[in-house]
Chains A and B, each alone.
Chain A
Amino acid sequence: MTDPSFSTGSDPDPNPDVSTDVSIGGNVQDSEAALVAQVHEAQAAGRALRIQGTGSKAFYGNSCPAEAVLDCTGHRGVVAYEPSELAITARAGTSLLEIEHLLAEQSQQFPFEPPHFGDGTGSDDIGGGTLGGLVATGLSGPSRPYTGSVRDAVLGVRLLNGRGEVLHFGGQVMKNVAGYDLSRLMAGALGVLGVLLEVSLKVIPTPPATLTLVHECSLEAALQQLRRWARRPLPITASAWYQGRLMIRLSGSDEALAESHRLLGGTPLDVAESAWRVLRDQRHAFFLGDAPLWRLSVSPATPADALPGAEDQLIEWGGALRWLTGDQDVAQLRALAQAAGGHATLFRPGRGPMPADGVFNPLEPVVKRLHQQLKSAFDPQGILNPRRLYPDL
């Protein structure tokens, strides 16, 4: 069956020709030294820097007023990749697409299914930006509840802090509790603590097969169904609901998929791969247009009617992620998301206004103070991506 509600949206060629040359260029030392020098200069001049990859996620977060750009795209290349270690280390400017191709050659992938948001130029390129941008935004795709987040996969970082110091935390091994976990802290920090130079991430084997099943049901029925399934050890690796259709992806051996299909019922979807990609990259019709897009991250147990516009939402992550478009009463929406155990983010402001306190849920006073103190611990002059995470940080 082809599913109209999930295949609306364009899906350009997912495998454009990219070079997977992992040889280390002769200018690596130079490209790192250049970034260090720019931070030193900015420090001396007391000038703020806007850290940038390809700009594919420039829409996300608050806007940083700094005029000077610290361009990380020149610092690229895979540093280490040994498939049996289930880990890859690459420089922050390396393109996500290039890394994913390299992993695919070894039948491996990132556990968190990173979205590809294009390069911001409106071209057909769905390169998805750089590794640094991926980790700094910490945005994960459809598999997140089942195989973990970007943060979960971070094993180590090489970091340039606001004092111009190059620091290495964590490593390439799976278990490491030596000192504070400053590498996972960088995931989602939007560059306010430091410039990512290199990141080591955990990878997982690509499952031998996948099967996507569609059920027709209301949102409340879908949420209940997802909760029931979550309590059983099923090989579910993605789930979404939109306009009366619940779609789940199963991954594993053919035997396991056949058995799960028998247990769960539903109609197999034959354009599944592209449907999940369109959803992951927000090229589905739901996400298009210039209406404000709200991301509600809540407890999966939240009933449909606890949040506004229920039947118009698009649901992911087994009910833990609910997308809503249109103008909203910001204070009320945040309060409802908070009551549902989570938080509300204005993901894309579109034509709507920017909330004065920023696109992210404001922090409680103690947590806010800890943010400010941590910021000074890494970037005492506040020169790295000021205001990007919070307008007063």
Chain B
Amino acid sequence: MPRIPDERPLNPQPDIIAALSAVLPAGTVLSSAAELAPYECDGLTAFRQRPMVVALPECIEQVQQVLRLCHDARVPVVVRGAGTGLSGGALPLADGVLVSLAKFNRILAVDPDSLSARVQPGVRNLAISEAAAPYGLYYAPDPSSQIACTIGGNVAENSGGVHCLKYGLTVHNILKLKLLTIEGELFEVGREALDAPGLDLLALLTGSEGMLAVIVEITVKLLPKPERAQVLLAAFADVETAGAAVAGIIAAGITPAGLEMMDNPAIRAAEDFVQAGYPVEAEAVLICELDGFNAEVSFEVMRVRELLLSAGATEVRTAADEAERLLFWKGRKAAFPAVGRLSPDYYCMDGTIPRRELPRVLRRIAELAADYSLRVANVFHAGDGNLHPLILYDANHPGELERAEELGGAILELCVAVGGTVTGEHGVGVEKLNQMCVQFNTTELEQMHRVKAAFDPHGLLNPGKAVPTLHRCAEFGAMHVHHGELKFPELPRF
């Protein structure tokens, strides 16, 4: 896979560094190699690129000035939150300005009467819930990276979390955004109300990966903390039965707050790492959290227990107290680092599939892994069909990274073939540009490019990310479809 995300010819304009220094406070324009190094990648570390310069503006007016300078000089801009993104969305450009919003870290208001909080984009996700806690409120979307990732990054990626099965994604939990166009003009979308006049630009801008506008303020929705949360842990003798149990719970009319699945390699890794008491012989475990109103939770815990047993669980445990509930979660939450101990490197995928396809897709992933001689551990948001296969590899073994990426690509194409998508919550960034060519046809991609141009006619905001050029797709298609054969011809297409 090429490491160069962007097919633009480079057009370095080092004069912009002096121009930025003239409008920004001392110490907020970084351009020495040592200063640039920390910005060379985000959470997708296989891609690295130092920017020409980093700007750290401190207020909206300064961001406006940076954007105006870049717009006038036609210098591309990449915005960065905490850099925890897993698809290379914040990967810098060699001839571009990286705008870090790290200094926009203030919570401007928490209003318990309207159940909302107004925050700057660099505020960490968890900090919002911490600020709302004194009122018995919290911000629901909880990506596993929530101690580090920023709310601006969350909006740009439409991030999810363990609890989005019940409480929705970022798009369902924000009310209003303040943004800047690439020309530096300030505008607002959404309202403090539940809707806004005109086109739903709030929905369009959420998940737009920094390609359409720069988010400078966010009003999020807050929810009352559930009265009670209860967790069940169920063990299964095979992955397929566990997958079917997931569909069974949903079909029974229960909406768990979270419904997570781990397969045997993940269970063992987590157990070795944190000793959560997981059943290491099980081929799969499901962790099901029910929360809300006390009386409702009691009722649902009973029903879910019965459903899991009748679906073929070999064992169902209900956390006896809060300590045990946290212990059940501890293994799940530590699963990524735990898997990291099994292998020098791992690559985290993010496809979503219809729930009914879980058993078949998990089986096929295992077969593909065997074909590529790589190990895969699965830890994922089963309730909404969002898979996170972790491909284990060792970058020091020549060719392994490339094999891991090929396997990853094959897994994502499998997700598309069964009616799913190449990314559920991590975004396309630079990582899944090729798979976008599989999911969308030329006309659809052209429509996306026209939407981009409606906001950013010169293509200066995060160019080369999220939506592949038609040229790239043509090349990818040419090398990918052998003799006109489709991938996975045995699967029905819909």
Q: Quick check: which of A7-15, A41-49, A359-367 contacts chain B, the rest being far away?
A: A359-367
Within 8 A of A (CB), among B219-249: 223-227, 247-248
B207 touches A189 (CB 8 A): no
A151 touches B203 (CB 8 A): yes
The number of chain B residues touching the other chain, given as a range, is: 35 or more
A185 touches B204 (CB 8 A): yes
B200 touches A176 (CB 8 A): no
Judge whether B298 is part of the interface by a CB distance below 8 angstroms: yes
B199 touches A188 (CB 8 A): yes
Judge whether B187 is part of the interface by a CB distance below 8 angstroms: yes
Chain B residue numbers with a CB within 8 Å of A389 are 198-199
Chain A residue numbers with a CB within 8 Å of B187 are 364, 366-367, 370
By beta carbon, the residue of chain A nearest B206 is A181
Q: Quick check: which of A16-24, A51-59, A67-75, A166-174 contacts chain B, the rest being far away?
A: A166-174
Closest Cβ–Cβ distance, residue A49 to chain B (whole Å): 19
- Tell me, in angstroms, the Cα distance from A297 to B175 when the chains sit together: 13
B439 touches A256 (CB 8 A): no
By beta carbon, the residue of chain A nearest B192 is A341
Q: Quick check: which of A274-282, A325-333, A374-382 contacts chain B, the rest being far away?
A: A374-382
Closest Cβ–Cβ distance, residue A190 to chain B (whole Å): 9
Choose among A83, A173, A367 the residue that contacts B353 (Cβ–Cβ < 8 A): A173
A175 touches B164 (CB 8 A): yes
Chain B residue numbers with a CB within 8 Å of A231 are 112, 115, 135-137, 224
Within 8 A of A (CB), among B286-340: 292-296, 298-300
- Tell me, in angstroms, the Cα distance from A371 to B451 when the chains sit together: 11
B161-186: CB near A (< 8 Å → 1, else 0) gives 00011001101100000000100011
Judge whether A124 is part of the interface by a CB distance below 8 angstroms: no
Chain B residue numbers with a CB within 8 Å of A80 are 494
B255 touches A204 (CB 8 A): yes
Judge whether B5 is part of the interface by a CB distance below 8 angstroms: no
B255 touches A85 (CB 8 A): no
Judge whether A161 is part of the interface by a CB distance below 8 angstroms: yes
- Tell me, in angstroms, the Cα distance from A320 to B195 when the chains sit together: 10
Given A175-B160, A179-B428, A231-B115, are A345 and B298 also a contact pair (CB < 8 Å)? no
Choose among A234, A253, A256, A360 the residue that contacts B197 (Cβ–Cβ < 8 A): A360
Q: Quick check: which of B64-72, B267-275, B389-397, B418-426 contacts chain A, the rest being far away?
A: B418-426
A377 touches B354 (CB 8 A): no
Judge whether A5 is part of the interface by a CB distance below 8 angstroms: no
A144 touches B198 (CB 8 A): no
- Tell me, in angstroms, the Cα distance from A167 to B450 when the chains sit together: 13
Closest Cβ–Cβ distance, residue B68 to chain A (whole Å): 14
Within 8 A of A (CB), among B439-481: 439-440, 443-445, 447-448, 450-455, 466-467
Judge whether A142 is part of the interface by a CB distance below 8 angstroms: no
Within 8 A of B (CB), among A203-234: 204-206, 208, 227, 230-234
- Tell me, in angstroms, the Cα distance from A189 to B454 when the chains sit together: 16
Given A148-B168, A256-B295, are A176 and B451 also a contact pair (CB < 8 Å)? no
A184 touches B424 (CB 8 A): no
Chain B residue numbers with a CB within 8 Å of A169 are 444
Within 8 A of B (CB), among A74-113: 80, 82-86, 107-108
Chain B residue numbers with a CB within 8 Å of A82 are 354, 356
- Tell me, in angstroms, the Cα distance from A320 to B175 when the chains sit together: 13
A341 touches B436 (CB 8 A): no
Choose among B112, B199, B420, B450 the residue that contacts A371 (Cβ–Cβ < 8 A): B199
Given A297-B193, A345-B197, A389-B198, are A175 and B207 also a contact pair (CB < 8 Å)? no
A80, A184, A258, A360 pick with most chain B CB within 10 angstroms? A184
Closest Cβ–Cβ distance, residue A173 to chain B (whole Å): 4
Given A174-B352, A177-B157, A231-B112, are A374 and B444 also a contact pair (CB < 8 Å)? no
A182 touches B299 (CB 8 A): no
A108, A151, A231, A376 pick with most chain B CB within 10 angstroms? A231
Chain B residue numbers with a CB within 8 Å of A181 are 158, 171, 203-204, 206-208
Judge whether A270 is part of the interface by a CB distance below 8 angstroms: no
B419 touches A175 (CB 8 A): no
Choose among A234, A298, A367, A376 the residue that contacts B189 (Cβ–Cβ < 8 A): A367
Chain A residue numbers with a CB within 8 Å of B255 are 204-205
Chain A residue numbers with a CB within 8 Å of B251 are 83-84
Judge whether A343 is part of the interface by a CB distance below 8 angstroms: yes
Judge whether B384 is part of the interface by a CB distance below 8 angstroms: yes
B299 touches A206 (CB 8 A): no
Judge whether A342 is part of the interface by a CB distance below 8 angstroms: yes
Closest Cβ–Cβ distance, residue B230 to chain A (whole Å): 14
B193 touches A173 (CB 8 A): no
- Tell me, in angstroms, the Cα distance from A345 to B193 when the chains sit together: 13
A175-202: CB near B (< 8 Å → 1, else 0) gives 1111111101101110011000000000
- Tell me, in angstroms, the Cα distance from A373 to B434 when the chains sit together: 28
Choose among B191, B200, B293 the residue that contacts A252 (Cβ–Cβ < 8 A): B293
Judge whether B345 is part of the interface by a CB distance below 8 angstroms: no
By beta carbon, the residue of chain B nearest A364 is B187
- Tell me, in angstroms, the Cα distance from A376 to B454 when the chains sit together: 8
Choose among A204, A235, A367, A374 the residue that contacts B293 (Cβ–Cβ < 8 A): A235
- Tell me, in angstroms, the Cα distance from A23 to B445 when the chains sit together: 32
- Tell me, in angstroms, the Cα distance from A317 to B192 when the chains sit together: 13
By beta carbon, the residue of chain B nearest A176 is B421
- Tell me, in angstroms, the Cα distance from A299 to B219 when the chains sit together: 12
A175 touches B114 (CB 8 A): no
Judge whether A145 is part of the interface by a CB distance below 8 angstroms: yes
A177 touches B426 (CB 8 A): yes
A189 touches B200 (CB 8 A): yes
Chain A residue numbers with a CB within 8 Å of B447 are 161, 165, 167, 182, 377-378
Chain A residue numbers with a CB within 8 Å of B356 are 82, 84-85
B112, B169, B194 pick with most chain A CB within 10 angstroms? B194
- Tell me, in angstroms, the Cα distance from A389 to B199 when the chains sit together: 9
Given A83-B251, A144-B194, A172-B354, are A177 and B168 also a contact pair (CB < 8 Å)? no
Judge whether A305 is part of the interface by a CB distance below 8 angstroms: no
Closest Cβ–Cβ distance, residue B317 to chain A (whole Å): 23
B454 touches A343 (CB 8 A): no
Besides A252-B296, A297-B195, A364-B187, 11 new A-B residue pairs in contact (Cβ under 8 A), listed by A number: A84-B250, A171-B420, A175-B164, A179-B428, A179-B467, A180-B211, A184-B203, A235-B296, A340-B193, A342-B193, A374-B454
6 A-B pairs whose Cβ atoms sit less than 8 Å apart in the complex = A85-B356, A165-B443, A180-B211, A341-B114, A341-B192, A363-B198
In the A-B complex, the 8 residue pairs with the closest CB atoms: A341-B192, A205-B253, A342-B193, A175-B424, A184-B203, A373-B454, A301-B113, A299-B192
A residues adjacent to B (C-beta < 8 A): 80, 82-86, 107-108, 138, 144-145, 148-149, 151-152, 161, 165-169, 171-182, 184-185, 187-189, 192-193, 204-206, 208, 227, 230-235, 252-253, 255-256, 258-260, 297-301, 317, 320-321, 340-343, 345, 360-361, 363-364, 366-367, 370-371, 373-374, 376-378, 389-390
B residues adjacent to A (C-beta < 8 A): 111-115, 135-137, 157-158, 160, 164-165, 168-169, 171-172, 181, 185-189, 191-201, 203-204, 206-208, 211-212, 223-227, 247-248, 250-251, 253-255, 292-296, 298-300, 352-356, 381, 384-386, 419-428, 432, 436, 439-440, 443-445, 447-448, 450-455, 466-467, 494
